[in-house]
A and B are shown apart, each in its own frame.
Chain A
């Protein structure tokens, strides 16, 4: 045997063993067989990550505080000047502003009496993989979080629970390609399915009836169809409509209402009244 070839052979054997192990792990995890083991490893890491994230936020707030205050003061001064000018020039705008305040108060009142059961959760980590986007929150199975539950942010729907361990859960964002949410448009009342476009691409609503006129700027809500998401959660706004007269359906590109880079606290909707679709299940 040539002794010089032995280290090289060992090198390729190591490569083969490690690559084989990685493939086996990938297959096992895809089938859910590793969930328990992954949960055991992930829980202490999530806890450490939560503490680190909180400390990092505090440190960054301390570092960026004075600058933000300066910017905010400048912005307030600019807005005050602008507001005074507009108020003088246009009484109608003041009337609209009053109506807006009334609507805002109504909205606040409605949010105080939610029909859905929610739990709050803090974002403790972001996805480590540059190719996909997800969040990790500090609530898990012990808090009643289950796979598939919708997750809502201050501005609208964020995504749904993808994986759960005892003390943490992973949230797949609505922008991910695996995401498919039945939606309804605010003005045209058209329905369709919102699909994520993947990292860097806006989601798209497919399967909108071509006969329904869809306008840019329409708000997008969950329709509640399918029972996985409650109805009327805000998702975003239509920024473009793609119509092809040769096809039966049109599609709309959506700008999500949520800024996924600045989420800190979220709601997990743990219970809601599902849309009754039993009528469709009855035998003809």
Chain B
């Protein structure tokens, strides 16, 4: 674990408020993107798997605080989704934004599938049709991850400027 947890908790709390109070009122192309999920994924792509998992865990807790789903379920779905997406960047060509976009699409599909299965255990199941209707959000995430990734990169550079030897 690292000190990034002290950044992740307040940031995710703020994003959760934005996710519940602002985004549903201004949907993008009729869809509400999962801001917390995208930020966790972007952080994981920048800082590696452990950090991605930690942020996904925290993001999921805040998501479930405002949801019908039991606490922890979204954390589980987010972590299972970001793991292959982050590992994938090691085998893809070093085009950061393209990889981030593909990772977001893959991760979104995985977390929707995890929800699809997990929600059935809690009598909150969704149909295959609903799952298919929600898939376009993966494409939206694939686009939105690019500015989020760039923003996270800028924040990271600000917090940890690259050391230059003269």
Physical interaction between A and B: yes
Residues of A within 8 A of B (CB): 10-11, 14-15, 18-19, 21-30, 34, 38, 41-42, 45, 48-50, 52-53, 56-57, 60, 124-132, 134, 136, 162-163, 170, 172, 176-178, 197-201
Q: List 26 A-B contacts (CB under 8 A).
A: A14-B50, A14-B53, A22-B73, A26-B72, A26-B73, A28-B71, A28-B72, A29-B72, A41-B65, A52-B18, A127-B20, A128-B20, A129-B115, A130-B32, A130-B34, A130-B112, A130-B115, A131-B130, A131-B134, A132-B124, A134-B67, A163-B68, A176-B124, A199-B126, A199-B130, A200-B133
Nearest B residue to A199 by beta-carbon distance? B130
**With A11-B49, A125-B21 as contacts: A132 and B119 at CB distance below 8 Å:** yes
Chain B CB within 10 Å — which of A26, A27, A49 has the most? A26
Is B76 a contact of A129 with CB atoms below 8 Å?
Answer: no
A26 touches B76 (CB 8 A): yes
Say yes or no: B53 contacts A131, CB within 8 Å: no
Give CA–CA (A34, B73) in the complex, Å.
Answer: 14
Provide the residues of chain A in CB contact with B133, threshold 8 Å: 200
B21 to A53, Cβ gap below 8 A? yes
Q: Whole-angstrom distance between the alpha carbons of A151 and B119 in the complex? A: 24
CB-CB under 8 A for A178 and B124, given A127-B67, A130-B137, A132-B119 = yes
**CB interface residues, B 146-162, toward A, < 8 Å:** none
Known contacts A15-B79, A201-B127; A60 and B50 CB within 8 A of each other: no
Interface centre among B24, B54, B129, B133 (most CB of A within 10 A): B24
User: How far, in angstroms, from A61 to B137 measured CA to CA in the complex?
Assistant: 27
| CB proximity of B29 to chain A, nearest CB, Å | 14
Q: How far is the CA of A25 from the CA of B21 in the complex (A)?
A: 25
The 4 closest A-B pairs by CB, nearest first: A25-B72, A125-B20, A26-B72, A52-B21
Nearest CB in chain A: distance from B47 CB, A: 12
Cα A62 to Cα B130 with chains together (Å): 34
Kindly list chain B residues whose C-beta atoms are within 8 Å of the C-beta of A198: 124-127, 130
